[in-house]
Amino acid sequence: MKIIKQILFTAAAIFSVAVFAQNPIVVSVSPAPVSMDTQHSFVVIIPGAELKETKKNWLQYLAKGSEGDASETNGNNLQIGVVNGNVSATPFNVSSRIIETNEGVRLNAWLDPNIAATTPNSGRHLAMQKYVYDFAVQEYRVAVAKDIKEAENKLEELEKQLAAMIKNEEKLIKSVNTNDRANSRSDDAMLANNNDIKSSSEKISDQKDMVNYTAADANANKGAKKTLEEMKDDKKDLQNDNEKREKRIEKRNKENRASDRSTELSQEAQRAKTSEIEQQKAVIVALKAKFDKI
């Protein structure tokens, strides 16, 4: 019968604390050994909490208002003279142990034998559960707030990455446009050169006739030949200029094709990054909703 009463009390205690808020923080009561005695242990797991920080905050939480000493032996912490009027009208002692588990940081707290009677006082035990629960909620809020901050930092980094992709794409587009304008100018220059080459060919043909016409006059013939060679050089310069322009056009076209491929890849990456950003925004919304329910 005594065991049945204890089970019923434990179930009622767990339920009573669980309804304090819609979150996973539940303080249960179960027999657990401490200092060679078996007393009722108030147990809570705080998801996402950090062991070192939680331990420091718990010891500060116990020590608030207390004039007693705190000590640690083999991982068990003892705070003398804890003050909480809801639990006891007089200061009381609390032993505790904090460890890290796969589910989060687990806190076990034990009242001293004078407070934790063999037959638990339901009001006192619920008050102690609330005392532990309030601390666990405080730490859980800290853990979720850190998750939110980390998620927001990740979102900021993703948005920076997207902005860099967009900026790089804009550079690629600018480069293509610059090459297109340069090609257009080269096309105009080559068209002008071709017209000059055609005119030069006609002038060269006429000058050849002049060379033949002055064959009998050595001085005149020498001057005619010199003029003919200059005409040929000018024509050759125009042809060489066209060849150089054609090579530069081909080079710029090759660059443009590479830029087009890079732009396509960039746009694909941007779509993926945008999707990742939207997913991260949803994570933040969910975390903030989680925080609001604590």
279 and 158 assigned to the same domain: yes
137 and 30 assigned to the same domain: yes
Among candidate residues 144, 169, 203, the one where a domain is terminated:
144
102, burial (CB in 10 Å: exposed 0-12, middle 13-18, buried 19+): exposed
In whole angstroms, give the CA distance from residue 76 to residue 94: 10
List the single range of 112-121, 154-163, 215-224, 242-251 with lowest mean pLDDT.
Answer: 112-121
103 and 165 assigned to the same domain: no
Query: Domain range for residue 84?
Result: 2-144
What is the pLDDT at residue 24? 86
Classify residue 259 by its DSSP letter: H
**Which CATH number is 184's domain given?**
1.10.287
118 and 155 assigned to the same domain: no
In whole angstroms, give the CA distance from residue 107 to residue 96: 7
140 and 55 assigned to the same domain: yes
26 and 87 assigned to the same domain: yes
168 and 92 assigned to the same domain: no
Number of structural domains (the chain) is 2
What is the pLDDT at residue 81? 93
Among candidate residues 144, 161, 185, the one where a domain is terminated:
144
140 and 154 assigned to the same domain: no
Q: What is the residue type of 107?
A: L
Among candidate residues 93, 114, 144, the one where a domain is terminated:
144
In this predicted model, what pLDDT tens digit does every residue of 177-186 receive, in sequence order? Answer: 999 999 999 9
Beta carbons of 97 and 76 less than 8 angstroms apart: yes
Predicted confidence (pLDDT) at residue 146 exceeds the cutoff of 60:
yes
The contacts found for 151-154 with CB under 8 angstroms, 24 or more apart, are: 151/280, 151/283, 151/284, 151/287, 152/284, 154/280
104 and 239 assigned to the same domain: no
138 and 157 assigned to the same domain: no
Span 58-85, average pLDDT: 92
What is the pLDDT at residue 229? 93
**Which CATH number is 69's domain given?**
3.30.310
